[in-house]
Amino acid sequence: MWLLSLAIPLAIGGFVAAAQAQKVVPKLKSMCPLGYVDLFNGKCSTLGATTYTVTPTKGDACPSGWMNVGGGYCRRQ
């Protein structure tokens, strides 16, 4: 039972983490999103200059309040 009580908050935290500000994101396409630099290891980074709240597009249009920044990502406006 205690294992279940630990698993539920961890699962919820995983969904929230997808839309938090990120300095490093996985490189999903051939280019990085706007504002990110290619690290040549499958990741893109802002190099600590700033953080953006980005989420993968998953092939869909960006939701309301978000803008497409390329590289398979949407960024909160």
Domain ranges of the chain: 19-76
SS3 call for 15: helix
DSSP string, 54-66: EEE-TTSPPPTTE
* DSSP type of residue 16: H
Q: For position 49, what pLDDT does the model report?
A: 84
From first to last of its 77 residues, the chain has per-residue pLDDT tens of 544 444 444 444 443 344 678 999 999 999 999 999 999 999 999 998 889 999 999 999 999 999 999 999 999 99
Query: Both ends of the chain: CA-CA distance in Å?
Result: 42
Say if CB 38 and CB 27 are below 8 A apart. Answer: yes
